[in-house]
Structure 1
Amino acid sequence: MVVPERGAPLTTPRVEPVEGPGLRISRTRQRHPALADAWSANPGYVNNPERSGLMPHDRELLILRTGWNAQAVYEWAKHVGSVGRAREHGLEPLWIAQGRDATGWDANELALIDAADEMYRDTMISDATWATLSERYDTHQMFSIAATAARYRMVSMTLNAFGVQPLPDDERFPELEGY
């Protein structure tokens, strides 16, 4: 299968968010209330450490790497900033964008980056990455790793398709030299 070249990101919304308070993605989904209701069920699991078994650091690393891979600037902006607060969880956004090329990751973080990259590229986690992650995470957490990467790939695809735009003050993707 040949994957087509990526098109340019949208710079204006295809679907305007409804007026009012809240995140733009939530207000955009309100254009389709039945979908909005169904959409809201999964984050309660994925984003809750008690339910998913993933610590916020690990969850946000998976989410941000998936958002980077999909070039979902709104997803990136919200999880670096107000929603995910990446830096508060010990994450450096530039490193997440650089992936394995960044220095400073520990073996577990590299395995999470690999899992996000493999789920994005291959829609599965390789045996080698699974084995590495299984040394630290139990079966419940392994489900959560896969579900988090899968969910946020779907979120990123939807954000990109609708053209949901970050706010003017939101942090955008870092500039990478040599990429």
Structure 2
Amino acid sequence: MPFPHAADPRVAPVGDPEPEVAEMLAKTLGDDRGVPLAIFRTMARHPRMMKRFNVLGGFFLTRGDLPARERELVVLRVAWRSGCEYEWAQHVLIGRRAGLADEEIVRVTDPDAPWPPADAVLLRAADEVLDHTDLSDATWAELAGRFTETQLVELVVLVGFYRMAAGFLNAAGVQKEEDLPGWPTGFRPGDGT
């Protein structure tokens, strides 16, 4: 779980970017007013890295081979397990658009919750990669019965990418936009995991 910080954000989002950075930020996701999200304005402190980060993140969200609902189940589990409220909040919204019900989103936070087998194996895969940096033979075989090799590669890299993003968001103290949802009522990240 994240450490408490003396001050957040630790890295202030860029407020008045240089033209080249402003052009890159204009291509990122924004809030309802069109303001680039805090993650991108913070990452803009390192424009070359932000550019490459956006390529891979954009791939997962718009060009990946995994179905959107399954992708978002995995990302929400990673956000929860990483204690990253910013990532959680953004992917609650994306998950809803991908077809996840609010009840399912909250259930992601319960490691003992019952899931249909097709969803349970995805959550188990996320947990195994987070806990062991690997997948068990049983989990791999179950996934391989459903997904192509391309999708399996994507799934494992997806977990790692969003774990990396969570580490950046937590360590930099990126603050979520005020209109975004927080943790589910009565829950705190990592409860029971």
- Report if TM-score (shorter chain) is over 0.5: yes
Structure 1, 54-63 or 90-99: larger mean CA deviation: 90-99
Match of 2:187 in 1: 176
Write out per-residue CA displacement over residues 71-112 of structure 1, whole angstroms, 9 at most, x where no aligned residue. Answer: 00000011102xx1436512422101113x123x21011000
Q: Secondary structure at the match of 1:89?
A: coil
Counterpart of 2:88 in structure 1 is: 76
Which runs of structure 1 show a deviation greater than 6 angstroms over 4 or more consecutive aligned residues? none
Query: CA separation in 1, counterparts of 2:144 and 2:107?
Result: 24
Q: Distance in 2 between matches of 1:141 and 1:11?
A: 40
* Paired position in structure 2 for 1:31: 45
TM-score, normalised via structure 2 length: 0.80
Q: TM-score under structure 1 normalisation?
A: 0.85
Residue type of the partner of 1:97?
Answer: T
Counterpart Cα distance in 1 of 2:5 and 2:71 = 25
Residue equivalent to 1:163: 173
Distance in 1 (alpha carbons) for counterparts of 2:105 and 2:85 = 12
Question: What amino acid sits opposite 1:137 in the alignment?
Answer: F
Give the Cα separation in 1 of the matches to 2:98 and 2:51.
Answer: 30
Paired position in structure 1 for 2:25: none
Q: 1:63 aligns with which of 52, 75, 80?
A: 75
Q: Which amino acid aligns with 1:111?
A: V
Q: 2:110 aligns with which of 92, 98, 102?
A: 98
User: In structure 1, how many angstroms separate the alpha carbons of the residues matched to 2:142 and 2:88?
Assistant: 26
For 1:18, the aligned partner's letter is: V
Q: Which amino acid in 2 is paired with 1:38?
A: R
For the residues of structure 1 that align with 2:164 and 2:109, how far apart are their CA atoms?
A: 19
**CA 1:74/1:10 → structure 2, altered by over 3 Å: closer, same or farther?**
farther
- Structure 1: runs of 5+ lacking an equivalent: none
Instruction: Tell me the distance in 1 between the aligned counterparts of 2:76 and 2:10.
Output: 23
Q: For structure 2, list consecutive stretches of 5 or more residues without a partner in the other structure.
A: 17-34
| CA positional deviation for 1:31 | 1.0
- The equivalences for 1:11-22 within 5 A come to 12-19=8-15, 21-22=35-36
1:6 Cα deviation from its structure 2 partner: 5.4
Q: What is the aligned-residue identity percentage?
A: 34
In the TM superposition, residue 9 of structure 1 has moved relative to its aligned partner by 6.3
